[in-house]
Amino acid sequence: MTIPIIDAATLDRWLKAGEAVLVDVREPAEHAARRIAGARLVPLGQVADQRLPELAGRKLVIHCHKGGRGNSACQKLLRENPGLEIYNLSGGIEAWAAAGLPVQGGGGALPLDRQVQLAIGAGLLAAAALSYWVSPAFLLLVAVFGAGLTFAGATGFCGLAHLLAVMPWNRRAG
């Protein structure tokens, strides 16, 4: 199903006119570190129609870091309630900030997608070094990371992201 997308300027107009409710589906630490004023936090793993704020005839706009998790949240919500007027913010909070619109916060934990990239990159470097200097059996770690990335790409579920999301540095609320 195709989810309608909107740009940051349109969302800004809708928010100023009181025509939309904005929901952030990132993790609590990401929201605490950097957020759009008025966005309500409902992490992707908790997204459900009954967890949404009261819409009172307003449009529902979902945002995340760059747009991918937002699209997943929109699809899930539309499966639960096909009558929702729902939009995904194209490019997420990154596009909002790039458009020169205000963000609150600053600093804090790295976004979850970058934490995943760092963990996988460090794991692959360690596996390569260990397989060269210790034992070729460590190449199995490369296969594990490759299988995990393939599964995440095919299903949209990243076990490493879920694991990192519950780490203490990602659990502080904003």
Residues recognised as catalytic: 64
26 sits in which H/E element: none
Pairwise CA distance, residues 101 & 22, whole Å: 15
The alpha carbon dihedral of 98, 102, 106, 111 has a sign of negative
Phi-psi region of 36 (alpha: psi -120 to 50; beta: other; left: phi over 0): beta
Structural tokens at position 60: 């529902």
CA 112 to chain centre: 7
- Enter the DSSP assignment of 39: P
Extract the runs of DSSP E, i.e. beta strands, from the chain.
5-6, 20-24, 34-35, 40-41, 59-63, 86-89, 104-105
